[in-house]
Amino acid sequence: MVEAQKSSSIVLDDRDRLFATGAESGPDLTVSLGPLRLQSPVMPASGCFGPELGSLLPVGELGAVVTKTLFADRRSGNPSHRLTESADGMLNSVGIPSPGTSQFKRQVLPKYRVFGVPVVVSVGGLTVEEYWQVTDELADARFEALEVNVSCPNLEHGGLAIGTEASAVEHVVSGVVSRTSVPILVKLTPNVTSIGDIARAAERAGAAAVTVCNTFPGMAIDVPTRRAVLGNGVGGLSGPAVKPMALRLVWQAASAVGIPVIGCGGISTARDVVEFLLAGASAVQVGTATFTRPYAMARIQRDLAVLCNELGVSHLSDLTGALRP
């Protein structure tokens, strides 16, 4: 484990110590996402974890790290304000800043690799071809998987997210799959009529897993100024407020495909994780909780081991899809 992880600021209690030391009584938390093997189901959501947080939690205990979404060229993102609180959640309109592929490979990716866990590179594109271009430009880089973010606005179709059309998703993902040998995860948008149709399109294209889901569209208004709070007007809602909707989408996606589903949306506790697993998820991503508690993922990971013992679960995979009718 790297030095940054040794200096974690988390205060361990007795149950943390039990599972942090790898006690034999601990449950098996390993998961498989196609050929990708993870020691834990917990990982950050794209855009919610940077290498600078490595000194605040033991990243080596997580299943993987996921980078911010990468575009081919440098992007500055949206105007301020970019973040604002909402009831039981957060609205963001960051606009996905990106250093561009060349700088990412030279300066950013090595900082993720030091944690010793699989690195999932999130890739985006404002056109179909940009997804393929980024994949090609990453050919000489070392990472364990790609997460294709199909929630990006497609300039070819007036800004409509590529992920809202099954045919577009299949087209983009199949092109990415043909250009790399690493497993492909596909991050889906919730803004669709049938999440099952979109998930099946990703599966047909060769995806190893799908991530369900991204943020929900929303906005906030400042009454005294009569202006939108966010500089871009609208943004994406995340946090506990979206958890019931995300759970439903995970359940629907898992019922539609045979590949693993990664649950994402409002997860802040180990019990939240178990809910997503019961709905059909095999792994989870944590986003908004990290903004207020940088150590949240490590706490969730350790509490999950304790909760599995309390539930009499020796293998985490036994919970996946175990929701009773």
Question: Nearest-CA neighbor of 49 among 63, 29, 38, 34?
Answer: 63
Q: What is the mean pLDDT of each run of 10 residues along the chain (325 residues)?
A: 40 44 72 97 96 93 97 87 89 88 98 97 95 98 97 74 94 98 97 97 98 94 96 91 98 98 98 98 97 94 96 97 94
Domain boundary assignment for the chain: 3-319
Q: In whole angstroms, give the CA distance from residue 116 to residue 95.
A: 29
Contact 319, 271 (CB under 8 A): no
- Give the alpha-carbon dihedral of 224, 239, 297, 257, to 10 degrees: -150
Residue type, 14: D
Domain 3-319 -> CATH class: alpha beta
Q: Among all residues, which ones are annotated catalytic?
A: 152
Nearest 5 degrees, angle CA 309-CA 290-CA 323? 40
Q: In whole angstroms, give the CA distance from residue 154 to residue 218.
A: 19
Structure tokens given for 122:
């999130």
pLDDT at 81: 86
